[in-house]
Amino acid sequence: MFYDDDADLTQLDGKTVAIIGYGSQGHAHALNLKDSGVQVVVGLRPSSDSVAKAKEHGLEVLEPVEAASRGDVIMVLVPDELHHDVYEQIRDGVAPGNMLLFGHGFSIHYGEIEPPADVDVALVAPKGPGHLVRRQYLEGSGVPGLIAVQQDATGHARDLALAYAKGIGNTRGGVIETTFRDETETDLFGEQAVLCGGTTELVRAGYDTLVGAGYDPRLAYFEVLHELKLIVDLMYEKGIAGMRYSISNTAEYGDLTRGRRVIGAETRQAMSDILGEIQSGAFAREWIAENRAGQESFQRMREEQAGHQVEVVGKELRSQMDWIDTAFHE
Ligand code: NAD
Ligand code: MG
Ligand code: MG
């Protein structure tokens, strides 16, 4: 693991970092680097809604290709499905000896971008959403992160990537060195099987089971969605055994005897199949094709699920819980 003392911010002295995109990760990286004393410019299309926001935050905003020209380090923080097109827009600004940097390895690992041999190619991937990357930096803590070097043209790629990770606060939480392949495949697996796909279906299935059996939807919401955070917070702080120490013996006995009936052999097999599709590139091909087709089924599925009753009930209940800080999640 690399911590603050292992990284040297002066690697970025005299260099400019160009952040392309100002969304979830982009705003957090740009602001954290600026607060760490690094020269930052932001690359956005003039029509982008984010231009005004970045300027309000005191950042210089340029067209993407101009930002890339200005940058010695060019961090691409637009959605993965746009990397191919955005790289075409900025490639003339990427000079020999520059570093092309990513927040996730998808586009390099699956060949959506093929950078020239005379630039460094690396990734700095915070293991958390952008808004937490910003919030924890401000609080003096930091989201852990991964770094990887795909191409080391200058011989300094690793030191520079580590300096960047320090500038956004990752070395406070700890940084692991990995490869583009491992970062990409584990990240996709995590979000599909556990963090996003697995968890949302678990919640929806639990909610549907209770409401389908005639229980009050509000009770179901509190039970399977609201309380999930409280349990996950305990796991985050103390591990699974530590969480089990805090819950009642009744809850713990139910956990130990019932959990494996919910996540059984069928689910483990599905996880293994999902990992296989990620490793073979089948998932990447599917997602790239979905984008070429205009994201039609993606948008339809998004809308369908946003209409689920758990969303309507949850919105109403959350509106009464004014301590829930939504500002960071908008
Ligand atoms: P996002 O959707 O939040 O932000 C996208 C930004 O890109 C917006 O500011 C948008 O205006 C801008 N943009 C769109 N098209 C553009 C163009 N043609 N030129 C310039 N800018 C353009 O994206 P995100 O979720 O922050 O993801 C960015 C990268 O970070 C991805 O590679 C993603 O995998 C990675 N990542 C994201 C998270 C996360 O928490 N969201 C976590 C780890 C890694
Ligand atoms: Mg991830
Ligand atoms: Mg991801």
Q: Is the pLDDT of residue 322 over 90?
A: no
pLDDT-derived band at 329 (thresholds 50, 70, 90) equals very low
323 falls in which pLDDT band (50, 70, 90)? Answer: confident
Q: How many CA atoms lie within 13 A of 126 on its CB side?
A: 30
Residue at token pair 């191919």? 84
For 242-256, the pLDDT digits (tens) are 999 999 999 999 999
For 20-49, what is each residue's pLDDT tens digit?
A: 999 999 999 999 999 999 999 999 999 999
> Closest ligand 1 atom, CA of 126?
43
d(CA 41, CA 60): 5
Task: Tell which one of 24, 168, 183, 184 to mutate to probe ligand 1, the residue whose CB is within 8 A of the most ligand atoms.
Answer: 24
Distance 127 CA to ligand 2 centre (A): 6
Global model pTM greater than 0.85: yes
Q: Write out pLDDT tens, residues 108-137.
A: 999 999 999 999 999 999 999 999 999 999
Mean of pLDDT values over 137-165: 98
List, for residues 299-314, the tens digit of each pLDDT value: 999 999 999 999 999 9
Answer yes or no: is the C-beta of 130 below 6 A from any ligand 1 atom. yes
78 Cα–ligand 1 center, Å: 3
Q: Which of 27, 83, 104, 109 is catalytic?
A: 104
C-alpha neighbours within 13 Å on the C-beta side of residue 306: 6
Say which residue, 255 or 329, is predicted with more confidence. Answer: 255
Angle between helices 180-189 and 265-280 (to 10 degrees): 140
User: What pairs with residue 310 in β-bridges?
Assistant: none
270 has a pLDDT exceeding 70: yes
> Which residues are 146's β-sheet partners?
125, 176
The candidate with the shortest Cα–Cα distance to 78, out of 25, 18, 4, 148, is: 25
Q: How far is CA 272 from the centre of its chain?
A: 22
Q: What is the pLDDT of residue 325?
A: 67
Give the model's confidence band at 330: pLDDT under 50 very low, under 70 low, under 90 confident, else very high. Answer: very low
CA atoms within 13 A on the CB side of 197: 12
The minimum-distance atom of ligand 1 relative to the CA of 129 is 40
Give the residue, out of 47, 48, 78, 133, with the most ligand 1 atoms within 8 A of its beta carbon, to mutate for a pocket test.
Answer: 78
Closest ligand 1 atom to the C-alpha of 107? 32
Total count of residues recorded for the chain: 330
Q: Is 104 a catalytic residue?
A: yes
Residue of 63, 74, 127, 128 lying closest to 102 (CA atoms): 74
CA-nearest residue for atom 8, ligand 1, is 23
C-alpha closest to that of 26 among 12, 43, 13, 14: 43
| Ligand 1 contact via 129 beta carbon (within 6 Å) | yes
- Judge if the beta carbon of residue 190 lies within 6 A of ligand 1: no
Answer yes or no: is pLDDT of 328 > 80.
Answer: no
The answer, yes or no, to whether any atom of ligand 1 lies below 6 A from the CB of 77, is yes
Say what the pLDDT of residue 327 is.
Answer: 53
Per-residue pLDDT tens for 208-239?
Answer: 999 999 999 999 999 999 999 999 999 999 99
Give the residue whose CA is nearest to atom 40 of ligand 1: 129
Model confidence pLDDT, tens digit, residues 178-211 = 999 999 999 999 999 999 999 999 999 999 999 9
What percentage of residues in the chain have a pLDDT greater than 70?
98
Q: Is the shortest distance between the CB of 20 and ligand 1 below 6 Å?
A: yes
Question: Which amino acid would we find at residue 217?
Answer: P
